[in-house]
């Protein structure tokens, strides 16, 4: 049985947080809200507890987990050293959606790092996440709280869809805000490299530390030699095929209409994930508007819920509209390209 506890997102009641913290200390699994998506937490110091995360998610064992801390003092025992750029980034973006990949200290269980000599660490900007980690008094390893490969959960309801009965407890504090996961930044390389675009944009990072590279795998492109194990798996995907169409709104709308008509002629039920710019040109059917192209942050925050929503309406195929890969649009396009698993058209 999974205990379900509703908590206030701003001032969570301490008895509930302490109960959940106790579960973590004893090797259990607790799903909790962060500012990006819901996470599935276990003690980062307990290899057995971390192995359970991999079991319940069906996660490939070579994909390392991010360790969540409630303060800088928790960082020390986890990493061997960090560069001056890490100090600047922590000051600028923590708590927040930025994961720093740093040299791992010997004490970090190999279940967490998947055998790598680095560890990804972040301090989440959510009062419930911070209170939970502080109450447990230990760093918390947490992937997104979905079955491996599925769209990440942005509500407690999504977590229950995937993991009800398989985990010890869930803290429900309403929808996550950012909607896409943290940016994963490798600080071990000479020039910092974005391994996964996310809630902090490349533009924001460069204002603080100058030049950063974006790994070729990070925009959903070439992953033949992945730097981050997570890059090589099909991911974020609904249960039905997703076809991604990228380009100018006018031409995208025309192509989406044409594709939808073709699929319908074959008797398929079609769902469309559109933007405000094209939705008016797509007649009827199952159209979900993710938001305006002018506001990629709004699209990011609705993206995963929209994919689950379309799937829930029983469509056979999802047609999705691409947006400009700038700002948060880069993270959105990374998720969509990977959900499409190669079914991408540029018009």
**Residue 120 binding result from Mg ion, ligand TXA, none, given CB thresholds of 5 to 8 Å by partner type:** ligand TXA
Q: How far is the CB of 152 from Mg ion (least distance, A)?
A: 5
**Residue 101 binding result from ligand TXA, Mg ion, none, given CB thresholds of 5 to 8 Å by partner type:** ligand TXA
Q: How far is the CB of 345 from ligand TXA (least distance, A)?
A: 26
Nearer to ligand TXA, 145 or 318 (CB): 145
* One residue of 43, 113, 144, 275 binding Mg ion per CB under 5 A: 144
Q: How far is the CB of 144 from Mg ion (least distance, A)?
A: 3
Considering the rule CB under 6 A, would residue 182 count as an interface residue with ligand TXA?
yes
Site string for Mg ion, 66-95 (x = CB under 5 A): ------------------------------
| Binding residue count for Mg ion, defined by CB under 5 A | 1
What does residue 280 show for φ and ψ, rounded to 5 degrees? -65, -20
Restricted to residues 185-204, the positions that interact with Mg ion (CB under 5 A) are none
Nearer to ligand TXA, 173 or 287 (CB): 173
**Residue 275 binding result from Mg ion, ligand TXA, none, given CB thresholds of 5 to 8 Å by partner type:** none
User: Residue 99's closest CA among 10, 171, 174, 193?
Assistant: 193
Restricted to residues 103-162, the positions that interact with ligand TXA (CB under 6 A) are 113, 116, 118-120, 124, 142-144
Residue 236 assigned as binding residue: yes
Considering the rule CB under 6 A, would residue 230 count as an interface residue with ligand TXA?
yes
Considering the rule CB under 6 A, would residue 33 count as an interface residue with ligand TXA?
no
Considering the rule CB under 5 A, would residue 34 count as an interface residue with Mg ion?
no
Residue 334 assigned as binding residue: no
Nearer to ligand TXA, 197 or 271 (CB): 197
Site residues for ligand TXA per CB under 6 A = 34, 36-37, 39, 63-66, 97, 99, 101, 113, 116, 118-120, 124, 142-144, 181-182, 184, 195-196, 228-230
């Amino acid at each position: 049985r999974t205990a379900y506890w509703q908590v206030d997102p701003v001032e969570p009641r301490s008895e509930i947080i302490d109960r959940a913290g106790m579960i973590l200390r004893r090797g259990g699994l607790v799903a909790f809200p962060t500012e990006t998506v819901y996470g599935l937490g276990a003690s980062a110091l307990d290899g057995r507890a971390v192995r359970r995360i991999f079991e319940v998610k069906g996660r490939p064992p070579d994909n390392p987990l991010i360790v969540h801390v409630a303060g800088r003092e928790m960082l020390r025992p986890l990493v061997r050293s960090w560069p001056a750029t890490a100090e600047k980034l922590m000051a600028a973006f923590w708590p927040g959606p930025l994961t720093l990949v740093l040299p791992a200290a010997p004490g970090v269980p190999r279940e967490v790092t998947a055998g790598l000599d680095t560890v990804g660490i972040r301090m989440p900007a959510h009062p419930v996440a911070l209170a939970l980690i502080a109450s447990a008094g230990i760093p918390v390893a947490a992937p997104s709280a979905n079955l491996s490969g599925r769209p990440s959960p942005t509500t407690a309801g999504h977590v229950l869809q995937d993991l009800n009965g398989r985990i010890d407890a869930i803290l429900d504090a309403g929808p996550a805000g950012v909607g896409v996961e943290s940016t994963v930044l490798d600080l071990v390389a000479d020039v910092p490299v974005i391994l996964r675009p996310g809630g902090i944009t490349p533009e924001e990072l460069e204002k603080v530390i100058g030049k950063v590279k974006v790994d070729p795998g990070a925009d959903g492109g070439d992953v033949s030699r992945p730097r981050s194990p997570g890059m090589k798996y099909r991911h974020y995907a609904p249960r039905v095929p997703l076809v991604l169409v990228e380009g100018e709104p006018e031409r995208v709308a025309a192509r989406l209409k044409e594709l939808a008509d073709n699929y319908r002629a074959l008797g398929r039920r079609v769902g469309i994930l559109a933007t405000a710019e094209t939705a008016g040109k797509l007649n009827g059917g199952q159209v979900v508007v993710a938001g305006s192209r002018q506001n990629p942050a709004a699209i990011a925050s609705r993206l995963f819920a929209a994919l689950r929503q379309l799937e829930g309406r029983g469509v056979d195929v999802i047609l999705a509209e691409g947006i400009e890969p700038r700002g948060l649009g880069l993270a959105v396009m990374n998720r969509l390209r990977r959900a499409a698993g190669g079914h991408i058209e540029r018009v």
